[in-house]
Structure 1
């Protein structure tokens, strides 16, 4: 005991501390940092795609109600976002933005309170320019005040656009303008998701991390397949730039708006989820169909999009219009997407070794659309419908014997021509098609290019041939394999090679060739053929089936008349770079990226934009007599020399010889009497030269040479006599017009328009009503000056001159040209007003950006 008294004091203190550590509560641990704002891609709604400027308090509140009643809130959708046109056109006396009291009688704050009361969040729209795209006050120079205003109102999300931006076009300017709003939002102290919407112009994925939470990577989406396909192609390669709190944004969704098929809308949702894109709904949820809600509410896909790892799916392969994406998930699974952008059924495959899956003897696949579960040994494969996407959630599988094997049922079908009159059993004529990885190019332009053409002309002796392929991708042998083809009524499908096999080992294929006979009276169109493979699998020989559908394209000869060839879809199309572009040049790899066809300074509003290394094939059926066209190298990209050849069946009907850059268009006339197949070929020593078929007109049947070319076009304003009294709709906003020979698509003159930065409407009221009964669309040709411009069309109707507008704000880059088109069925009038095409009282076009813009040939078709 006495020795203990002699212990050093420090030792006693240490002992006491050790004892106390067992008795005292543990020290408080530092709290983990909060997740970043927008840790997963934002999910919500924006009114623009479905409503444009027609936004109001009732719509936003009822959409919030719909989020709750439809279960979309429970699925993860949170933001109810207001787009352009919500404010008055002038700021208030204090400089603040003023909500339009007619649209928002309770103000934005009142709407925010309502939305927050539903457990949701509210978004607003602003612009990094002097005015918004629709001409309302922008925030350039007002960043601090506007950010405080939005924060005071309770806004949770800002979409910040890029119109009227006063930019010098440099990336530094974009960074400066968007950083100014970032800093202003930070100073409010409110958490506001910041969506940068500069259309990918300055490559924001390279600089916007830390400034915005998401950034647009593309131009505006439209509700059609060409737009969706183009945007996927642009956004998919940007996976390295996305992650928690910073997302690539390929624009809002069009699902449910009616311009695409259910298959295409499922691709829309699938690829947005795989690309970890924001899921911002753009349809009217108050009237959305059950199918639309099922697509938007797919919990499995939402889980892939919202996975906490925050990884955008990487492109594993991308060839001939078939793409595979691979996305790791937080629980160790991987999402694998098989995407088919072509126009026909195609088998899309990837080996597990090409993905991030770890080595295993087998893998379990769960189809996120059907819920079906299958197993594969080493290849993930599916027959994917045209424009479709199959998404699997994949993980290693220890015991595959209890899980059904994955069986792919693919097919290849030639384009079909009905049999001869009389409906006998003579085999249907078919055209052999250029192949992209085994899949035929369909009877519309191929969007992916495809390299040097392989077609050598139609084979008149070929029967209508369908080839089916049943492939076992699972572990274990299939037994009693059989395949059937269910064709439309009146058609016949006869197997030419065996359609059965007793055993089919892993990765083995049963390939069957069928002869398809089509009655002579069958109209042109697309017809489904349902395919079914039956088999037995596993130790117990369990029965199972796999099905798919191939679409047969039936072509018939054109009807009598003279028509622009650009209005007829080719049976096959191969182009060295990008797609065939009707009525514009081939600008590059994407759809709709060209200008008006221009050869030797002559501008054409009709034609076929191709590149050398291209071949177009049309079925004429012996009913057409002549093709007249100009050919040449487009002024936008000098190259060549190139040669243009017209083939009537296998005989040369017209040839240009070498054509060089800058040369005037060379006219060709081809005699097509008795021709079954028309081929247009453009060639050069180096493929990819921009080669145009300008103003090609095809004559079929017994029609006079002076008969009108279809579709008929009616010029409303051509500016040959001057400005034709064009004026401005809003005098206070500025702008002038003058006749000019510098750009014209009809005659020798057009109209030069000096536009204010925020834009104005140019046109005029008419002395007498204009009757456009029978017309389906309005068009005008445009060439931008040193700055790009928006183009839009509106009309006034009836004695009250009611304003009717489409809301289709089409952008044209600086020094570029295009035809602006507005269909009458896209134009909306005020409530209670009918767009009477027989009583058009005024025609207007909208132009902006504060520079010179040239227009011509305002017309109805």
Structure 2
């Protein structure tokens, strides 16, 4: 039996579980922010369609309404978002989920909107949403049928993508139900997912219309999209369907928080939609919103925003917390410590501040503490803490501590000193954002003069770099990244050499994602903007292109 990712909700059942990026980069892809994350696992590279450079923000009907979606609901919600401060706070997408279509395709094989629910059709709804300055999202499935049993996109990917583009759709959520695994004999679920989601990626690309691509495959844990979906989608589900209770939210947090090294601009881990206002307490709602923002997760609200409570609306429109989620550096926050249900998360921000969340998973109020050093701050005798929920400020010489309510958070923005000093040097891969590969020493050679290249990320010793004291070293510090013969001209090869303290072995990791030679002022560059394995790395005048963007660690 094919497992579905959710059941159609009935009046008695309420809402039920839903168990369950063609490469388009141009040579001059601009403004891709860096991600600096610890760990040996390579992050997914960005799809390169220029979309979702910060996590998408919007609304989806499923959590609150299930199959009870309609033209009226979508338009009322769009109007409410336009009027109630959500749009002004950054929410863009108004997303239709399952059950919007008729039970069968038309005579030409096209999807058809359910005429009772959407009497004017999806294009008219898109026009209305666009008239408010918002964007429209829609739902489909990679299988033969959606999770609720409506026609899926399997075998119709190009036709459906063209139809969505013609309607003016801006966002596609593609689910993972009713997959004909029998058509892929001998292939794993992950291999099938890679094939089917790539089909829809290519189909969307071929339309020439900008459509954010969201993969929804959380019920199938074997798919593990964070390991491969960077070049396929803009975001991917990492968890099972969230439910409107603290235990479910906590479960999804625990799954998603360890995947920070795989996320970055245009490529986001998605622990599922927000349940703000759907049944948790105000304290728990505030915790979910804070944790999702700290993890640079998409902020897709799943509740009733036509008639939200004042508490719900105030949480959803907290611009200080939203600014953490939408920060241009694009780093997912990481877990600094976790003990006895007391968690500390830290997220470096583009201006040098660090966002810190103190999270109390337990049922009793607790004091949770960390230090400026632990969150990566150094070089100051005093730091300013801004509480992002109360707006209050305080100062500290290094200790960061608060009394945190049960199931709650305290969230600070920490300013002062420098960022990046805590915890010693960073170590891990250096990712070429434009190519989706890693900075690599060919064949893990340790011969002086070996020119570096890009290669598929594999976690090997020739791809494990340490950034410390302005140097980038490999093989546990045995060799340094080196500009050949102290040359400072365009095309100078970048090689490995015995570390000698020379100026040609000094590198600057910049906030815009570039790495520049301190001696030359030139950028670390993937030759010719190639994305192929074995492409050599050289020095070149900085130009803002995607082949000069790197993420370190």
Same fold (TM over 0.5): yes
Counterpart check, 1:344 vs 2:364: yes
Give the equivalent residue in structure 1 for 2:243.
222
Tell me: CA distance 1:348–1:378, structure 2 relative to 1, closer, same or farther (3 Å).
same
The aligned runs of 1:402-551 (5 Å cut-off) are none
For residue 183 of structure 1, what is the aligned residue in structure 2?
A: 202
- Taking the aligned partners of 1:388 and 1:290, their CA distance within structure 2 comes to 19
Preserved contact between residue 377 and residue 417 of structure 2 (Cα < 8 Å): no
Give yes or no for contact 1:39–1:244 (8 Å, CA) kept in 2.
yes
Q: Tell me if the contact between 2:385 and 2:394 (Cα under 8 Å) persists in the aligned partners.
A: yes
- Map 1:753-768; keep pairs closer than 5 Å: none
Q: Tell me how far apart the structure 2 counterparts of residues 263 and 207 of structure 1 sit (CA, whole Å).
A: 35
Q: Choose 1 or 2 for highest CA Rg.
A: 1
Contact 2:379 2:417 in 1 (8 A): no
How far apart in 1 are the matches of 2:119 and 2:143? 27
Identify which of 387, 394, 401 aligns with 1:374. Answer: 394
Structure-to-structure mapping, 1:647-666, within 5 angstroms: none
Q: Secondary structure at the match of 1:273?
A: helix
Q: Which residue of 2 aligns with 1:696?
A: none
Provide the C-alpha distance between the structure 2 equivalents of 1:278 and 1:358, rounded to a whole number of angstroms: 30
For the Cα contact (< 8 Å) 1:40–1:307, is it kept in 2? yes
Q: Who is 2:314 aligned against?
A: 294
| 2:343 maps to 1:323 | yes
Aligned ranges 1:182-201 → 2 under 5 Å: 182-199=201-218, 201=221
Residue 144 of structure 2, aligned match among 130, 135, 138: 130
Structure 1 residue 390 corresponds to structure 2 residue 410? yes
**Matches of 1:211 and 1:231 in 2, distance apart?**
23
Structure 1 position 284, deviation (Å):
1.0
Q: Which residue of 2 aligns with 1:276?
A: 296
- For residue 115 of structure 1, give the secondary structure of its aligned residue in structure 2: helix
In structure 1, distance between residues paired with 2:263 and 2:29: 23
Residue deviations 1:438-497 (CA, integer Å, cap 9, x gap) = xxxxxxxxxxxxxxxxxxxxxxxxxxxxxxxxxxxxxxxxxxxxxxxxxxxxxxxxxxxx
Question: How far apart, in 2, do the equivalents of 1:358 and 1:333 lie?
Answer: 11
Post-superposition offset of 1:287 = 0.9
Deviation at 1:31, TM superposition (A): 7.5
CA contact (8 A) 1:56 1:103 kept: yes
Match of 2:437 in 1: none
Q: How far did 1:379 drift?
A: 1.2
Query: What is the aligned counterpart of 1:152 among 151, 166, 169?
Result: 166
Establish whether residue 172 from structure 1 lines up as the match of residue 191 from structure 2.
yes
Q: What is the aligned partner in structure 2 of residue 517 from structure 1?
A: none
Distance in 1 between the 2:158 and 2:240 partners? 28
Map of 2:91 onto structure 1: 77
Return 5+ residue gaps in structure 2 as ranges. 1-26, 33-49, 182-186, 419-553
Cα distance in 1 for partners of 2:28, 2:373 equals: 41
| Contact 2:333/2:347 (8 A) holds in 1 | yes
Task: Give CA deviations for 1:566-595 in whole Å, capped at 9, x if unaligned.
Answer: xxxxxxxxxxxxxxxxxxxxxxxxxxxxxx
- For the 8 Å contact 1:353–1:359, the answer to whether it is kept is no
Q: 1:235 corresponds to which residue?
A: 256
Aligned counterpart, 1:109: 123
Higher percent of residues as strand: 1
Asked whether the equivalents of residues 364 and 397 of structure 1 are also in contact (C-alpha less than 8 Å), the reply is: no
Matched, 1:251 2:272: yes
**Any conservation in 1 of the 2:378–2:417 contact (CA below 8 Å)?**
no
Distance 1:397 1:139 in 2: 52
Counterpart of 1:364 (choices 366, 378, 384) is 384
- How far did 1:88 drift? 0.4
In structure 2, C-alpha distance between the alignment counterparts of 1:275 and 1:357, rounded to whole Å: 19
CA offsets 1:615-637 (integer angstroms, 9 cap, x no match): xxxxxxxxxxxxxxxxxxxxxxx
Equivalent of residue 62 in structure 2, options 48, 57, 69 = 48
**SS across alignment from 1:353:** coil
Shift of 1:170: 2.8
- Distance in 2 (CA, whole Å) between partners of 1:118 and 1:86 is 22
Out of 112, 120, 130, the position equivalent to 1:98 is: 112
> In the aligned structure 2, how far is the partner of 1:192 from the partner of 1:76?
18
Find the residue that maps to 1:134 and give its secondary structure. Answer: coil
For residues 242 and 357 of structure 1, what CA distance do their matches in structure 2 show? 22
SS in 1 for 2:54: coil
Give the Cα separation in 1 of the matches to 2:372 and 2:310.
36
Q: Distance in 2 between matches of 1:189 and 1:397?
A: 46
Matched residue of 2:214: which SS? strand
TM-score, normalised via structure 2 length: 0.65
CA distance in structure 2 between the aligned counterparts of 1:152 and 1:37, rounded to whole angstroms: 19
Q: Distance in 2 between matches of 1:83 and 1:89?
A: 15
Aligned residues: 368
**Corresponding residue to 1:63 among 77, 81, 85:** 77
Q: Does the CA contact (< 8 Å) of 1:350 and 1:379 recur in 2?
A: yes
CA distance, structure 1, for counterparts of residue 148 and residue 224 of structure 2 = 24
Structure 1 residue 282: Cα displacement: 0.7
Mapped partners of 1:363, 1:379: distance in 2 = 9
CA distance in 2, matches of 1:387, 1:304: 21
The unaligned stretches of length 5 or more in structure 1 are 1-29, 399-861
Corresponding position of 2:305: 285
3-state SS, counterpart of residue 61 of structure 1: helix
User: Which structure is richer in relative contact order (CA contacts within 8 A, separation 6 or more)?
Assistant: 2
Tell me the distance in 2 between the aligned counterparts of 1:78 and 1:351. Answer: 36
Per-residue CA deviation, residues 690-728 of structure 1 (Å, 9 max, x unaligned), is xxxxxxxxxxxxxxxxxxxxxxxxxxxxxxxxxxxxxxx
The residue that corresponds to 1:442 in the other structure is none
Separation in structure 2 between the aligned mates of residue 373 and residue 116 of structure 1, nearest angstrom: 39
SS at match of 2:300: strand
Shift of 1:33: 3.0
SS at match of 1:326: strand
Structure 2 SS opposite 1:394? strand
Rounded to whole Å, the distance in 2 between the matches of 1:169 and 1:397 is 49
* Contact preservation (8 Å) 1:160, 1:196: yes
SS in 2 for 1:58: helix
RMSD: 1.4
**For 1:392-438, what per-residue CA distance to the aligned partner results, in whole angstroms no more than 9, with x for missing partners?**
0001279xxxxxxxxxxxxxxxxxxxxxxxxxxxxxxxxxxxxxxxx
- Provide the C-alpha distance between the structure 2 equivalents of 1:120 and 1:58, rounded to a whole number of angstroms: 16
The Cα shift of 1:358 comes to 2.2
Cα separation, 2, equivalents of 1:96 and 1:37: 27
How does 1:575-590 map onto structure 2 within 5 Å?
none
Kindly indicate whether the alpha-carbon contact (under 8 Å) linking 2:146 and 2:152 is maintained by their aligned counterparts in 1: yes
